[in-house]
Structure 1
Amino acid sequence: MEISQITAFLAVAEELHFGRAAQRLHSAQPPLSRTIRQLEKQLGATLFDRNTRNVRLTSAGEALLGPAREVLDACRLAEIAVAAAGRGQVGRVRIGFSGVSSHLLIGRWAKLVRHTHPGIEFVLNSSAFASEALNKLLDGTLDIGLGRWIFTPPGIASRVILNEDFVVAMTVDHPLAGRDGVRIEELATEPWVALPADPGSALRDSLQRAAHDAGFTPRIVQSAPDSMSLMALVSAEVGCALTVSSVVENVNNPDVVFLPLVGGPSTLQLRIAWRADDDSAALREVLRLSEEALPTPE
């Protein structure tokens, strides 16, 4: 059966008059009659009893009525879905991120997407570190990445969502713990704990660069997979750690204090990144919503 045949059948079934049905379909009556006869021939059943005075459904016609309406309803839903996808109201957007501060930001963003665009599936990957997120963006397994990158490769667009100050985490019993700030050169002999030495690890690279500018090489004694684990190492007096202000806001550990880094690198930028040539309407809508949930700082 063709959609045009089902439409013609429903028009006649609801009007029970070929003339009015033809008028409703903006068609002449003879072509409508031929369409119904062709449909009856295909189905091998008479759908209407008709004479010069009236038209009524046969038992076969009654049986077809419900399924025919379901078919047309499904077609309308398909049209609506396609139109909604074109407007970015439905779709699937995959985002990769890591870190305690990122969890709060992503939660705010995801909540806005869910409330305003319930047809968009916001798929979260919370184990994608900065370098991993970039690689997954490039190979198409992620649509958006959240991370701290010194630079992004060609073809990747990005937007700053947070400027973060550098701080040094140390145990509360450290001799410098009562200070208002600390210079990196004052910690030249200290053991350090850091995030893994992955390519593009902005925090570890920042520590190495700040120490180099101060004339020493940091003695990194242990690595941790994330900021929370890093703070656990600090509280255990394994070493100091260079981190950022958003971690301070999200870590509650009475054995750890955070001192602003004085005279070192000033800020580290947290960005969202995406493929510049990705023309997904859902992605564009999610990025638009990010400007509301996570505006670029002044």
Structure 2
Amino acid sequence: MEFRHLAGFVAVAEELHFGRAAARLNIAQPPLSQQIRQLEHELGVQLFERSTRSVRMTSAGQAMLDPARRVLADLDVATRAALAGGRGETGRVSIGFPGASSHHALPRLTRAVRARHPGIELVLRGQTYSGEALTKVAEGELDLGFVRLPVRRDGVDVRLIEHEQLVAALPAEHRLAGEPEVSLPDLADEPFVTFPGTRGSAVRDALVHACVTAGFNPRIVQEAPDSYTILALVGAGVGVTLTVSSVQHIQAEGMVFRPLAGPARPMSFALAWRRDNPSPALRSVLAVAEEAMPTPP
């Protein structure tokens, strides 16, 4: 067993998608799949259940995840100690991000931090929804979180980094798919697919609020943990959804995006951190973030 095997296992476990995990590790997908197979063969257990549509952890994989994270964390400590002597600035900053909607902002931030402060380790926690991120920042479990505005939490500072809009995603064969824009009341009888209601998803909250404002309660027939799966379900004809404009780079088969008619429905993206967090590394990351992701007008 090599450290790269553990790193590959943790990435797949957190992303539950081999393609995204490979991109996160900056390797191709086939070598990552081979690493996981080698690890499973050496351990003699199956760590993931794979299908053409999904990846799920087995009970063995779930049991291994936290110990694997600790091993990698210990390796990182040793690496940072060596870097400290040569570069002078070290530290660890944990960042919670939602997923597809941060695909522009997060790489800009991580590239800038690594270029400016290579001794700072960024610990990235994916599928951390806005509400979860805010709570974990406030409680000290995360140093920095990508969140949706408005934020009302004592002791937490925020800075706007991006403006977005709510848009509709429809099956390509939907009766409204050919229209230039979609009026929300026309979706009143439609089944909806969206994020889970128990993890603080601001996008789900915005969907429900927009529908209620339009005069109906959305009939949510299925929940999914990330935008990739939600949009795949839309493309499969399971239902429609409202999502943020920043995920329009996802080209799920059988699905189209359409703007919403009427007044704009903004969804502002921001960074959040605890005001009394004493970490010098966090302050360095925040300074780099202001250059890499300046506050828009």
- Give the TM-score range, shorter chain: 0.5 to 0.7
Q: Which residues of 2 match residues 163-178 of structure 1 at below 5 A?
A: 163-178=163-178
Matched with 1:292 is: 291
| 1:278 and 2:277 matched | yes
TM-score of the two chains, using structure 1 as the length reference? 0.68
> After the TM superposition, which of the residue ranges 270-279 and 120-129 deviates more from structure 2?
120-129
TM-score of the two chains, using structure 2 as the length reference? 0.68
Matched with 2:162 is: 162
For the 8 Å contact 1:131–1:198, the answer to whether it is kept is no
Matched residues in 2 for 1:254 and 1:179: separation? 19
Q: 1:183 offset after TM fit, Å?
A: 1.2
Q: 1:170 offset after TM fit, Å?
A: 0.3
Matched with 1:244 is: 244
| 1:120 and 2:127 matched | no
Matched with 1:62 is: none
Q: 1:264 offset after TM fit, Å?
A: 5.2
Matched with 1:188 is: 188
Q: 1:102 offset after TM fit, Å?
A: 1.1
For the 8 Å contact 2:101–2:244, the answer to whether it is kept is no
Q: Which residues of 2 match residues 194-209 of structure 1 at below 5 A?
A: 194-198=194-198, 200-209=200-209
Matched with 1:132 is: 132
2:187 maps to amino acid: L
Q: 1:266 offset after TM fit, Å?
A: 1.8
2:252 maps to amino acid: N
Matched with 2:40 is: none
Per-residue CA deviation, residues 238-263 of structure 1 (Å, 9 max, x unaligned), is 11000011010x20224111110112
Partner-residue secondary structure (3-state), 2:217: coil
- Seq. identity, %: 47
Matched residues in 2 for 1:200 and 1:124: separation? 19
Matched residues in 1 for 2:293 and 2:270: separation? 10
Matched residues in 1 for 2:241 and 2:113: separation? 35
Matched residues in 2 for 1:246 and 1:189: separation? 26
1:159 maps to amino acid: R
Q: 1:131 offset after TM fit, Å?
A: 1.8
Task: Call closer, same or farther: CA 1:149–1:197 in 2, change over 3 Å.
Answer: farther
Q: 1:203 offset after TM fit, Å?
A: 1.4
The CA RMSD measured in Å over matched residues stands at 2.1
1:101 maps to amino acid: S
Matched residues in 2 for 1:233 and 1:296: separation? 34
